[in-house]
Homo-oligomer: A and B are copies of this chain.
Amino acid sequence: MPGTSAPDFTSLDALVRPRSVALIGASDDPIRIGGRPVSYMKQRGFAGQLWPVNPNRPTVQGLPAFASISALPAAPDVGIVAVPASQAIAAVDELGKKGCRAVIMFSAGFAEMDAAGAAEQDRMTAVAKSHGIRLLGPNCLGVFNASINYFATFSASFEKGWPIPGRIGIASQSGAYGTHLFAASLDRNLGTAVCITTGNEAEVALGDVLGWMAQAPEVDVICAYAEGIRESAKFISALKLARANRKPVVMMKVGRSALGGHAAQSHTASIAGDDGVTQAVLDEFGVVRARTTEEMLDIAYAATRRIYPAGNRMGVLTVSGGAGVLISDAAETAGVAMPEMPADTQARLRTLVPFCAPRNPVDCTAQVTNQMDLIAPFGDAIAAEGGYSSILAFWSQTAAGSSMGPRLLVEMAAMRAKYPDRLWVMSMLAPNRVKDYEDAGFLVFEDPSRAVNAIAAMGRFGDAFAAPEAATVPLPQVTLPRTTPSEAVAKALLHQAGVPAVPEHAASDSEAAVAAAEAIGYPVVLKILSPDILHKSEIGGVLLDVADAAAVRQGYATLLERAKQHAPNARIEGVLVAKQIKGAVEMAFGVLRDPVFGPVAMVGLGGIFIEVLKDFCLRRCPFDAAEAERMIRSLKGFPLLDGARGRPKADVAALAQALSALSAFAVAAGPRLAGVDVNPVLVLPQGQGCYAADAVIEVG
């Protein structure tokens, strides 16, 4: 829940960093599920106690076996359970009774199967909780912590090789994919310290694992794989903690497609949730979302340098003009700024190499490969005078050859040593020299576009780490009615909370409507007023341009007639008379209740923009006006508010204020608020405000 104190993520220590391990269902066969952890920890030399439990054998893979959990010499820090599903709950209970407080459940056949399995899983969770046990799984592939040679997993991926030293943590809901990620990182020469797979997440969920990694000294960089986020409080605390501790989180969240959504459901019965909402949450905390495994590993690799430049600016040194253009294209796509070099520096570089193109990208031309003492002045110019925080050098195959390669390495290494605070990246086709450059502090990518994407991600981490804490948003007093209120009540509630309504009056008869219209001034808008008719325009329940008293009387009659015809059972309270506002930009905003993340606000341009063109922005509630303005400015259609096509600029500040107020209202209203729909919001020119012209508040 928001507002409660931060969770203590160290409660996972026993699962990930135990001193004693009991394996229930231990097997003498080193390739069986119950045999692999024993085999792995024996091979690698796990430093703690390893206690196999097997009632049928005196030893397991050479280790003395225990006949039962109760026969163990002490309570193990963690119990690994690899028994048939039917015996799994009893094992948890016995471990609890022995005093064990952490269980890794390999056994499958629970919520991923059917309703009966889900019920059994709930029972297992209840037993675990009754003992205060942190339970990982069931149906999970387990955990490894290479820093202590702890392998509580039956993954077969170590056939490819053991983890190499490194500080990457992998947190994955999918065991197979988590393992794939580990194996792929191994092929990339990246060291994974810890890998935790969460399976069905009966008790320990992804948020716990991310939170543990966010505070664990073993991990600098967190790679996460998710199919659906099941709980929000710890997930969000974990992302906050990671940001506070300057640990980048790169996440693959699959199931973003309709197709993917299906597959995710059939895979682990997970709640795919609304991908847009998840994206909004990840954006909020500076999590970079990887679209592919390759991108995830590129970003993790780049992050191992631990240089995260806020306000990232990239300078490019290239021997190929073509590559320079390609890199510029990639930078624009990835949102990396490439400001120009200072004019006097450009002039000086032109005196060194007359045909160079020194703006940025700085194309020093192949001239430099023939005259290698020019590399240093070019590099110095970029680093010292360009002042770029990231520097990408494109050397293609030049770096590989015997004629230029060795000298290039010396020159480049000297340059980097002089400016060690920059993110130095080589794009080169020189597999033979990758290690040399990495040892000299460079990141090395073959493909320049991949290099640019990784640099972009480092900048996004830097911006997130540098961002101020979100301001606390004061919440209004809100008393929701018991059921969905009428439009008038809805707008009054919102108006009170800081979302201004269009001047209007409810009228319960024709003459009251005329009086209201006279008070407001013509022309007015008339709308049918009924708690039972939510979408008025669908029954013709809105009249525009009502210009005089006679038209008001006629309109009143028309609306009642239409209501009677289309919604004969609706309770009719009369007609709403409102000021007609012209020349405004029509926006829409609202609140949806996400089952995991709670109230989430949406803003977009009117109707078709949101529904047909999907041009909207989402954000967890509440947020302040500055954040609301960022949301509004992120819309593709924002130029419509900003004076496009000769219009006056709209009052974006007022709109942002109202949107922020709506977000605070949504939180203050509590969980009975099912949704809010304010459409249109009429935004007048700068200084003239904005008005909610219609509103629906759904109470659940």
Question: Residues of A with Cβ closer than 8 Å to B?
Answer: 31, 108, 112-113, 156-157, 159-160, 172-174, 176-177, 179-180, 183-184, 187, 225, 227, 252, 254-260, 262-264, 266-268, 291-294, 319-326, 328-333, 338, 355, 357, 359, 361, 363, 366, 369, 396-398, 400-404, 429, 431, 446-450, 538, 607-608, 611-613, 615, 636-637, 639-640, 644-646
Q: Report yes or no: B397 in contact with A160, Cβ–Cβ below 8 A.
A: yes
A640 CB to closest chain B CB (Å) equals 6
Bound complex: CA A611 to CA B643 (Å): 13
For A357, list chain B residues within 8 Å (CB).
Answer: 263, 266-267
For A450, list chain B residues within 8 Å (CB).
Answer: 292, 294
Bound complex: CA A291 to CA B453 (Å): 12
Q: Report yes or no: A255 in contact with B325, Cβ–Cβ below 8 A.
A: yes
A498 CB to closest chain B CB (Å) equals 29
Given contacts A267-B363, A396-B179, A429-B183, contact A326 B254 (CB under 8 A): yes
A369 nearest CB neighbor, chain B only: B156
Q: Report yes or no: B612 in contact with A262, Cβ–Cβ below 8 A.
A: no
Q: Report yes or no: B183 in contact with A397, Cβ–Cβ below 8 A.
A: yes
A178 nearest CB neighbor, chain B only: B322
For A369, list chain B residues within 8 Å (CB).
Answer: 156
A366 CB to closest chain B CB (Å) equals 7
A677 CB to closest chain B CB (Å) equals 14
For A254, list chain B residues within 8 Å (CB).
Answer: 322, 325-326, 328-329
Q: Report yes or no: A159 in contact with B403, Cβ–Cβ below 8 A.
A: yes
Q: Report yes or no: A330 in contact with B292, Cβ–Cβ below 8 A.
A: yes
Q: Report yes or no: A176 in contact with B396, Cβ–Cβ below 8 A.
A: yes
A155 nearest CB neighbor, chain B only: B397
For A183, list chain B residues within 8 Å (CB).
Answer: 396-397, 400, 429
Q: Report yes or no: B292 in contact with A174, Cβ–Cβ below 8 A.
A: no
A636 nearest CB neighbor, chain B only: B613
For A355, list chain B residues within 8 Å (CB).
Answer: 108, 112-113
16 chain-A/chain-B pairs, Cβ below 8 angstroms: A174-B323, A179-B397, A184-B429, A252-B326, A254-B322, A254-B325, A257-B333, A260-B332, A263-B321, A266-B357, A291-B330, A293-B448, A294-B446, A294-B450, A608-B640, A612-B637
A184 nearest CB neighbor, chain B only: B429
Question: Looking at the complex, which one of B259, B338, B363, B637 makes contact with A329 (CB distance below 8 Å)?
Answer: B259
Q: Report yes or no: B448 in contact with A268, Cβ–Cβ below 8 A.
A: no
Bound complex: CA A330 to CA B256 (Å): 9
Extra A-B contacts (9), CB below 8 Å, given A257-B333, A259-B331, A611-B645: A156-B369, A176-B320, A177-B320, A257-B332, A291-B330, A292-B448, A292-B449, A293-B448, A294-B449
Q: Report yes or no: B400 in contact with A159, Cβ–Cβ below 8 A.
A: yes
A80 CB to closest chain B CB (Å) equals 18
A253 CB to closest chain B CB (Å) equals 9
For A366, list chain B residues within 8 Å (CB).
Answer: 176
Bound complex: CA A292 to CA B294 (Å): 14
For A400, list chain B residues within 8 Å (CB).
Answer: 159-160, 183
A200 CB to closest chain B CB (Å) equals 12
Q: Report yes or no: A268 in contact with B174, Cβ–Cβ below 8 A.
A: no
For A321, list chain B residues within 8 Å (CB).
Answer: 174, 176, 263, 266-268
For A258, list chain B residues within 8 Å (CB).
Answer: 332
A257 nearest CB neighbor, chain B only: B332
A693 CB to closest chain B CB (Å) equals 18
Bound complex: CA A607 to CA B646 (Å): 12
Bound complex: CA A538 to CA B646 (Å): 9
For A266, list chain B residues within 8 Å (CB).
Answer: 321, 357, 359, 363
Q: Report yes or no: A645 in contact with B608, Cβ–Cβ below 8 A.
A: yes
A363 nearest CB neighbor, chain B only: B267
For A176, list chain B residues within 8 Å (CB).
Answer: 319-323, 366, 396
Bound complex: CA A292 to CA B450 (Å): 8
Q: Report yes or no: A644 in contact with B611, Cβ–Cβ below 8 A.
A: yes
For A608, list chain B residues within 8 Å (CB).
Answer: 637, 640, 644-645
A256 CB to closest chain B CB (Å) equals 5
Q: Report yes or no: B359 in contact with A257, Cβ–Cβ below 8 A.
A: no
For A332, list chain B residues within 8 Å (CB).
Answer: 257-260
Bound complex: CA A260 to CA B645 (Å): 27
A397 nearest CB neighbor, chain B only: B183
Bound complex: CA A448 to CA B258 (Å): 18
For A612, list chain B residues within 8 Å (CB).
Answer: 636-637, 639-640, 644-645
Bound complex: CA A323 to CA B159 (Å): 20
Q: Report yes or no: A184 in contact with B292, Cβ–Cβ below 8 A.
A: no
A176 nearest CB neighbor, chain B only: B320
A188 nearest CB neighbor, chain B only: B446
Bound complex: CA A401 to CA B155 (Å): 12
A85 CB to closest chain B CB (Å) equals 12
Q: Report yes or no: A328 in contact with B613, Cβ–Cβ below 8 A.
A: no
For A330, list chain B residues within 8 Å (CB).
Answer: 291-292
A624 CB to closest chain B CB (Å) equals 27
Q: Report yes or no: A156 in contact with B431, Cβ–Cβ below 8 A.
A: no
Q: Report yes or no: A322 in contact with B227, Cβ–Cβ below 8 A.
A: yes
For A291, list chain B residues within 8 Å (CB).
Answer: 330, 333, 449
Bound complex: CA A264 to CA B323 (Å): 10
For A260, list chain B residues within 8 Å (CB).
Answer: 325-326, 328-329, 332
Q: Report yes or no: B607 in contact with A320, Cβ–Cβ below 8 A.
A: no
